[in-house]
């Protein structure tokens, strides 16, 4: 890894322009870890290309004076709907890691979701943010260990919990440098010995994974907002609503867990129809521009989570790079809204602003 830069490269016009700069700043191992998808990368590619199959409908001559991207989520007001998704081990990408991302989120009047696999302490990250943050929770193998991690996050000011369920037993797909680790986690659980007729997958690996009873238990432990990340099937969405979840994150984990699953955007409209205002809908996986954000909002999302693009900014220019990525996407979103005749995020949904190409 080359020395991290502290200035924004001069040739940056869009968030994706940071990609080349980030690659030059990172080791080949870190770059592969960030960019790789599961399997052949079918889902990884589809997450982005599906946006090209959706057309925007321009509406000139509409009065958009006073337009804005403001929104309120769970009582918190934000200037824009571009949340920074939970990404692990951010010190792989910048020496100051998650604290730089937290500073940028605050500077842009937005929100960061901190990963259970953060490479800095939850206390240091929220101190850098100088505002309440959200915490992404991975199941820790049993309820007691999970509760200890949850209570630690809540005690230092994280005020919404995002429970990720599509990667039930999460391990690093990279050999981490000695100075980088998931510093907020306890030592891994020791796997139970298997009988000869037992499966390493079903009886070993998945024995430490959560189930719906654990989701119900977690809901009872959390007084504030509780979101589930990683549901794509409509029956699972309905079950989460029955259990009182406050929000859903429509996500396939950026194509990093199971290949050839549906792109997140392809299932978003059906999920939005089932939710029908009963919970907040966040969209994740594939956002690369403000136009992408607009399309996801038009198809049912209340807010978006961006992932790889802000890490490109982090690797290239630290907190300045992350903040710049958010600002570029927000500017693109505002321009798309204006040219589509929509003044608010609510109007994006209310008007026929996109066309699904067949």
Q: Which of 201, 251, 253, 258 is nearest to 38 (CA)?
A: 258
Q: CA 141 to CA 321: how far, in whole Å?
A: 36
Per DSSP, 112 falls in state B
Q: CA 343 to CA 328: how far, in whole Å?
A: 18
Phi first, then psi, for residue 296 (nearest 5°) are -65, -40
Q: Which helix (H) or strand (E) holds 105?
A: helix 97-107
Q: Which of 51, 115, 35, 126 is nearest to 312 (CA)?
A: 35
Q: Which of 354, 343, 249 is nearest to 294 (CA)?
A: 354
Q: Which are the catalytic amino acids?
A: 253
Phi first, then psi, for residue 176 (nearest 5°) are -75, 145
Q: Residue 144 corresponds to which tokens in the numbers above?
A: 């007691």
Q: Are 132 and 154 in contact (CB under 8 A)?
A: no
Q: Are 322 and 12 in contact (CB under 8 A)?
A: no
What number of other Cβ atoms are within 10 A of residue 320's Cβ? 19
Q: Are 281 and 247 in contact (CB under 8 A)?
A: yes
Q: CA 102 to CA 98: how far, in whole Å?
A: 6
Give the β-pairing of 160-164 and 280-284: unpaired
Burial letters for 201-217: b for 16+ Cβ neighbours within 10 Å, e otherwise? eeeeeebbebeeebbee
């Amino acid at each position: 890894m080359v020395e991290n830069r502290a200035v924004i490269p001069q040739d940056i016009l869009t968030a994706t322009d940071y990609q080349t700069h980030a690659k030059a700043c990172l080791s080949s191992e870190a770059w592969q870890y960030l960019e790789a998808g599961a399997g052949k990368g079918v889902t990884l590619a589809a997450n982005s290309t599906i946006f090209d199959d959706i057309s925007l409908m321009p509406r000139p001559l509409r009065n958009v004076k006073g337009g804005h991207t403001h929104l309120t989520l769970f009582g918190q007001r934000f200037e824009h709907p571009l949340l920074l998704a939970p990404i692990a081990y951010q010190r792989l990408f910048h020496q100051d890691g998650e604290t730089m991302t937290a500073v940028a989120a605050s500077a842009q009047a937005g929100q960061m979701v901190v990963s259970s696999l953060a490479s800095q302490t939850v206390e240091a990250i929220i101190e850098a943010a100088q505002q309440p943050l959200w915490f992404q929770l991975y199941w820790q193998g049993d309820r007691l260990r999970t509760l200890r991690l949850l209570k630690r996050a809540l005690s230092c000011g994280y005020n919404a919990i995002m429970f990720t369920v599509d990667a039930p037993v999460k391990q690093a797909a990279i050999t981490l440098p000695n100075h980088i680790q998931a510093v907020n986690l306890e030592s891994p659980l020791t796997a139970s010995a298997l009988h000869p007729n037992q499966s390493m997958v079903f009886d070993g690996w998945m024995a430490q994974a959560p189930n719906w009873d654990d989701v119900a238990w977690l809901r009872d432990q959390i007084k504030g907002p509780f979101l589930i990340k990683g549901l794509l099937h409509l029956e699972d969405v309905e079950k989460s609503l029955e259990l009182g979840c406050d929000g859903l994150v429509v996500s396939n984990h950026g194509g990093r867990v199971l290949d050839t699953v549906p792109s997140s955007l392809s299932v978003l409209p059906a999920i939005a129809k089932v939710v029908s205002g009963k919970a907040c809908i966040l969209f994740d996986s594939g956002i690369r521009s403000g136009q992408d954000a607009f399309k996801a909002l038009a198809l049912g999302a209340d807010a978006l989570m961006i992932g790889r693009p802000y890490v490109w900014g982090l690797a290239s220019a630290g907190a300045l790079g992350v903040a710049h990525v958010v600002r570029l996407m927000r500017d693109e979103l505002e321009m798309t809204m204006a040219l589509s005749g929509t003044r608010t995020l609510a109007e994006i949904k209310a008007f026929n602003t996109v066309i699904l190409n067949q």
